[in-house]
Structure 1
Amino acid sequence: AHCHRVAEEIPIVGFYLQPAAGGRLLGYEFWRRFAEIDNVIAIKMAPFNRYQTLDVIRGVCEAGRDDIALYTGNDDNIIIDLLTTYRIATTSGTVERQIVGGLLGHWAVWTQPVVEQFEEIRAARESNAAIDPKWLVLANQVTDANAVLFDAANNFRGCLSGINEVLRRQGLVQTAACLSEDEQLSPGQAEEIDRIYRSYPHLTDDDFVRANLDDWLAG
């Protein structure tokens, strides 16, 4: 009921957040009813779960809403989410939908190669050509990197600190500290960040940041 009430005043965006980060489980029926609200304009899907992501997409398709923008917040599945065409059988026929972009904590760092990847993915989708296997390789590399930055091994306890640590190493912030003293790097997380730097230099943008940092800070 509160979604309907808010939608009477302003456009609304749904946000499906995984329970480990403070969200709650919301099934297909919820998302179908939510998508039937006229003033819904977008949904960010971040359950970090393929089944639950499909619940959202099915709900939107069954509601007949082709005007609701779908964004991935699944930092564990970024590349695949962006590449995939979802073909959903509904009571009104078969519907195809694609995720139009990402609203991702992972994209708070190393954004220069992310922009390039996103543009390439959009071009690949629009070409309707077969998907290059390189994207499947990259997908797993990004997921591995995200597991470290988000501290998946410790149920995401060091998620914010992991992002801040990369920004600190690049000189964009002075410290990886967060407002809460409970938010800090988990034991071994810094060493894991070292590992992904060594393993996936093509995912990072330290050279780009270094070349522009003085101008950014001066501005």
Structure 2
Amino acid sequence: MATYPSLPADINRLLQEGTVIPAHPLALRQDISIDEERQRLLTRYYLAAGAGGVAVGVHTTQFEIRNPAINLLETVFKLAAEEIEKAKLHYPVIKVAGICGPTEQAIKEARLAVQYGYHLGLVSMGGLQQYSEAELMKRLYAIAEVIPLFGFYLQPAVGGRMLSYSFWRAFAEIPNAYAVKVAAFNRYQTLDTVRAIAESGRGRAIALYTGNDDNIVADLLTPFRFIVNEQQVEKQFVGGLLGHWSVWTSKAVALLEEVKQCIQNNYTGMADLLAKGVSITDMNAVIFDAAHSFHGCIPGIHEVLRRQGLLEGLWCLNAGEQLSAGQLEETDRIYRCHEALTDDQFVKTFLSRDQKRRLYGAK
């Protein structure tokens, strides 16, 4: 009989309450080798910014890390885990590992993640167009025997696929399915997923995290209500696992707290938050390069981190991933228009303190 590992209670508590989980980028040198110090620096930045976890080995980390000639998946898992351990924090940090590929590859990646202490596998269904939904579900159960699951609805525009209401109902029945990231970038598909979880009978056990970088604030504010067995059931996104939150992360932490306070105070201040959400979507459209079908998404993220001094350059493992025409100028524009939503001053202070700590051991 199959057994399914469970989450530690403190990790699950934080996951269900809702937190900020940045999708961890990959720091490279100009020769396309990994810059281990800057990779570690990014992890320390996310912890200093107040993130409740990190997601490593995901799209933002670049899927090419899995190519045998590059072989960086274990390295990025290891570096982030080591920095979290070194931080010796008095509160839990959720370690999420990106899991990809056919069943055999996915199981191998899940075992590697467990080896480095990762709590959850963010399981992508991307690149598996040949699998039926039943075959995808069989794959998920096999992975679940290795690591607790964080479901992932990835939009088709960046390699994902359409997944039905029935698929997510079946996902909810996996004993150690603890969360779902909805990154469909589509309201109909988002609704299908939320309704499936709400109507599954396990709605309280499965946390919803927005991955809809184009709709972050509205996702977090919206109560999704359904009638189930003649009773109203409500489900809400409690946090985000987002590429967008890999930049300006301290402001993302403040935003999630503001949303939580708004909801607790009977939605007082909701109009201002929704207006802020429009500004955030404007910023995301630029760094994710929505105007060019997300072609410049990863270098767009890198450009923000480069300006802040967290990365040295925009280099990607895929040489074809570069900023699109006009994206640099648009980045200048969003900095002028939405400066209050950036955290450059926070990063400047963080870098100064981090350097002193490493040079002199200062607190």
TM-score range relative to shorter protein: over 0.9
Aligned twin of 1:35: 172
Distance 2:139 2:161 in 1: 16
Tell me, which stretches of 5 or more residues in structure 2 are unaligned? 1-137, 359-363
The gaps in structure 1 that reach 5 residues or longer are none
Q: Is the 8 A contact 1:62 1:91 kept in 2?
A: no
> What SS does structure 2 have at the residue aligned with 1:103?
strand
Amino acid at match of 1:63: S
SS of the residue 1:133 aligns to: helix
Query: Percent identity among equivalent residues?
Result: 54
SS of 1:24's equivalent? Answer: coil
What's the CA shift for 1:63? 0.9
CA distance in 2 between partners of 1:90 and 1:131 (Å) = 31
Deviations 1:166-216 (A, max 9, x none): 100111110011111011100110000000001101111112212221332
User: Which residue of 298, 301, 307 corresponds with 1:163?
Assistant: 301
Match for residue 275 of structure 2 among 124, 132, 137: 137
Please state whether the residue corresponding to 1:101 is helix, strand or coil: strand
Select 1:207's aligned residue among 335, 340, 345.
Answer: 345
2:156 alignment counterpart: 19
Alpha-carbon distance between aligned partners in 1 of 2:253 and 2:144, rounded to the nearest angstrom:
32
Say if 1:98 and 1:174 are closer, same or farther in 2 by CA, change over 3 A: same
Distance 1:7 1:212, change over 3 A: closer
* TM-score of the superposed pair, with normalisation by structure 1: 0.95
Aligned to 1:107: 245
Give distance in 2, aligned partners of 1:91 and 1:30: 21
- What are the Cα deviations for residues 57-76 of structure 1, in whole angstroms up to 9, with x where unaligned? 11111111121011000000
Residue 186 of structure 2 aligns with which residue?
49
CA distance in 1, matches of 2:348, 2:220: 29
Q: Which amino acid aligns with 1:172?
A: L
Within the candidate set 254, 261, 269, 1:123 is matched to: 261
SS in 1 for 2:205: coil
Q: Secondary structure at the match of 1:194?
A: helix
1:83 CA drift (Å): 0.9
1:8 is aligned to: 145
